[in-house]
Chain A
Amino acid sequence: MAGSGTAHLRDRDDIVLSVEDLVVEFSVGGGQKVHAVSGVSFDIAEGETLGLVGESGCGKSTTGRALMQVPRPTGGSVRLRGTELTGLKGEALRQTRTQLQMIFQDPISSLNPRRKIRDIVSEGLSIWRRDVDADESRQRVDELLSAVGLDAATAGDRRAHQFSGGQCQRICIARSLVLDPDVLICDEPVSALDVSVQAQILNLLEDMKARYGLTMLFIAHDLAVVKNISDRVAVMYLGKICEVGPADTIYAHPSHPYTKALLAAVPRPDPGAINTSVPLEGDVPSPVDPPSGCRFRTRCPQAQQRCADEEPVVREIGSDHYVACHFPIDAPAAPVLAGALGGSEADLAS
């Protein structure tokens, strides 16, 4: 697995964001390059949430940032409602970026500590919507702050250090929505938060998505969080896509050996769940010198010679379910379920 290909791109009218063959490389001197993202393709339809999941260093954050064109991708195409972003420059790019907003992992450090919350949230308006007068802008900010669950009257005049991590993340969400973006890119938005607060923010993102008609790219390493919020999920490994499909399908019937291993490794908050699977051996190889063929083969329990010689290409394995693997696990017949357990109750790990 972990291959290239575009078979999973959909030919539909309601595709908002379409990424094709995205490549991001960083030079590290000595003629060597970090192959952070190597030929990633995906698309997100109107109102859809795509979860991008993978371990640290797999290139998921770099992918998110490359969509914003910071840094510019080395190759490939990023189209937002048909507009190609990779070629845009200067004012045109700035204008287009207002449609593409981002929230980050550490909410406290992504807010300017010296500015009032109201000014942080309204900055987009004061730059882009000169026609909006002060009253209207104030109203808009108040509306957003209360939409994200903060008391606008008291919160607006405070600064970031007076808020907890969860509240700062709410402020970041309000800021990202002030210009009515089409697409919200969330890069690990809840991984710095406690579980009780994490649930609040996940629920809030669902509410905001419904209320403001957002399309989301949700990047995270926590598989349970990604499943909770996503319609479709793409699994990444070492700069490549392994598997794409509807969230429930992928989690119930992982086709890629990596997806299966990743799911098996998730610790279950249930003392009865006995994990009999063998954890993956070793570490992720260096992206400076990735393995030939399938990039997962060095850790794959079922790797063959073919996996070293030939890179697998994404192909359809079930309805809207795509995998890049020469030897995928047969989707519905996968003998991963213990006995009579069926459907969502089954422990995928055993």
Chain B
Amino acid sequence: MNPATSATENTARPVAGLGHAEPLLAVRNLHTFFDTPRGIVRAVDDVSFSVDRGRTIGIVGESGSGKTVLSRSVLNLLPKKATIPAGGEILFEGRDLRPLSSKQMRSYWGPQLAMVFQDPMTSLNAVVKIGRQITEGLREHTDLNRRAAEQEAVALLRSVGIPAPERRLGEYPHQLSGGMRQRVTIAIAMACGPKLLIADEPTTALDVTVQAQILDLLARQQRERSMGMVLVTHDLGVVANRTDEIAVMYAGQFVEKAPTPIIFGSMRHPYTEALMRSIPRIENPSHTRLDAIPGRPPDLADLPRGCRFAPRCRNAQQRCLEENPPLFPGEQPGHEFRCFFPVGTPAGDEARERNVRDGRTAAGIDMDTLTKASA
């Protein structure tokens, strides 16, 4: 995974000399809203990104930021009644998936698009043997007969590192450990050789030693099959070494998107910066005071008028409270961020200095609590 070659990622323009003119997946101005008794919840609000074959994009956000709704939207896995189709396109190899019915989607789920979910116990059927759960997709989408499908299932289980795979076919999910179950869900996702894999918090329910195994497994499968991958997580550590590009999501929007080294090295959005600083680092001495982000994310049914992060931001100015910033391009190719006073720029430095001088941000947050923050 070399992040240096990402120049063409964010553009949908056909690139001369490449075999595939369009990216594998291109999401454009996607909106997913839910009509609830509390009002319209803007879970995904104007999100665009693309994924090429063999590349990985990481989508990072806290709970409620809309990252799971985003990944389910891409797969057309949302309850149709609950959503308000508010525009946008999901182009998979150039074809818009949005208007497709579930019946039409069935030819995509499996051989084209597959998903690995967070909790393997709930994504596996508890009363169906593992073998049948793997061969189900194979029988549906390929001409393999039962015997051949079973052999393929054994090969798949072996490829995801499950010992004694022949025996496992006849077992139920509860007979396996959490790590083994997640391997099974990966085997199911891989069964029909999908072109795009969406992994939504694939290791959050697992222990750290098992997490490393599963992430390595996903990376290997992706390399071998030249799949595109969307890795959705709340953990910056998980995406740091395993993605070409990262999008940081906050309150339904991408606030920053850039090739991975730029996100970590020269992030521009104050939320990205704050997120990095709030993580306890294993290399810091114990009792290092953490830079917490005060407050909590806004209610997606009742969003502030201006920038959605402004009430928690160190750089917030009057303008941030009135106007939601659009995505600005960064100096480096492929870098975009939603901020009027970006970190590491003269405008951002000046804004922060002004807030430090005033002792508070334009949103009225005391700068002292922003820096020492347990409140």
- Which residues does A use to contact B, with CB under 8 Å? 55-56, 149, 164, 166, 194-200, 202-204, 206-207, 221-225, 227-231, 247-248, 251, 261-263, 265-271, 273-275, 279-280, 283-284, 344-348
**Residue from the list A197, A247, A262, A267 in contact with B237, Cβ < 8 A:** A267
- B234 sits at the interface (CB 8 A): yes
**Residue from the list A224, A269, A345, A347 in contact with B276, Cβ < 8 A:** A269
A-B contact pairs, 21 of them (CB 8 A): A56-B207, A166-B296, A195-B279, A196-B278, A197-B296, A200-B293, A203-B290, A206-B374, A227-B280, A231-B286, A247-B286, A248-B285, A262-B209, A265-B209, A267-B208, A267-B212, A267-B237, A267-B238, A269-B235, A279-B209, A283-B210
- Tell whether A203 pairs with B240 under 8 Å between CB atoms, given A227-B282, A344-B285: no
Of all chain B residues, the one with the shortest Cβ separation from A149 is: B375
Say yes or no: A199 contacts B280, CB within 8 Å. yes
Say yes or no: B234 contacts A261, CB within 8 Å. no
**In whole angstroms, how far apart are the Cα atoms of A261 and B208 in the complex?**
10
Say yes or no: B293 contacts A199, CB within 8 Å. yes
- B179 sits at the interface (CB 8 A): yes
**Residue from the list A199, A269, A284 in contact with B240, Cβ < 8 A:** A269
**In whole angstroms, how far apart are the Cα atoms of A309 and B342 in the complex?**
61
Per the 8 Å Cβ criterion, residues 139-165 of B in contact with A are: none
Write the nearest CB–CB distance from A256 to chain B, whole angstroms: 14
- Tell whether A271 pairs with B260 under 8 Å between CB atoms, given A227-B280, A344-B283: yes
Say yes or no: A200 contacts B264, CB within 8 Å. no
**Residue from the list B179, B216, B240, B261 in contact with A273, Cβ < 8 A:** B240
Say yes or no: B276 contacts A228, CB within 8 Å. no
Say yes or no: B211 contacts A267, CB within 8 Å. yes
**Residue from the list A194, A207, A228, A344 in contact with B234, Cβ < 8 A:** A194
Chain B, interface residues (CB within 8 Å), range: 35 or more
The 5 closest A-B pairs by CB, nearest first: A267-B237, A203-B374, A199-B292, A196-B293, A149-B375
**Residue from the list B209, B293, B373 in contact with A280, Cβ < 8 A:** B209
**In whole angstroms, how far apart are the Cα atoms of A147 and B178 in the complex?**
39
Of all chain B residues, the one with the shortest Cβ separation from A54 is: B207
Write the nearest CB–CB distance from A281 to chain B, whole angstroms: 8
Say yes or no: B234 contacts A227, CB within 8 Å. no
Instruction: List the A side residues contacting B332 at CB < 8 Å.
Output: none
- Tell whether A225 pairs with B280 under 8 Å between CB atoms, given A196-B293, A265-B212, A283-B180: yes
- Tell whether A271 pairs with B282 under 8 Å between CB atoms, given A200-B374, A283-B177: no
Instruction: List the B side residues contacting A348 at CB < 8 Å.
Output: 282
Instruction: List the B side residues contacting A280 at CB < 8 Å.
Output: 209, 212-213
Instruction: List the A side residues contacting B235 at CB < 8 Å.
Output: 195, 267, 269
Interface string of B256-267 (1 = CB under 8 A from A): 000011001100
Instruction: List the B side residues contacting A262 at CB < 8 Å.
Output: 208-209
- B223 sits at the interface (CB 8 A): no
**Residue from the list A199, A266, A346 in contact with B208, Cβ < 8 A:** A266
Say yes or no: A195 contacts B375, CB within 8 Å. no
Instruction: List the A side residues contacting B207 at CB < 8 Å.
Output: 55-56, 221, 284
Say yes or no: A194 contacts B240, CB within 8 Å. no
Write the nearest CB–CB distance from B258 to chain A, whole angstroms: 11
Instruction: List the B side residues contacting A164 at CB < 8 Å.
Output: 296
Instruction: List the B side residues contacting A198 at CB < 8 Å.
Output: 278, 280
Say yes or no: A251 contacts B282, CB within 8 Å. yes
- B174 sits at the interface (CB 8 A): no
Say yes or no: B261 contacts A199, CB within 8 Å. no
Instruction: List the B side residues contacting A275 at CB < 8 Å.
Output: 212, 241
- B106 sits at the interface (CB 8 A): no
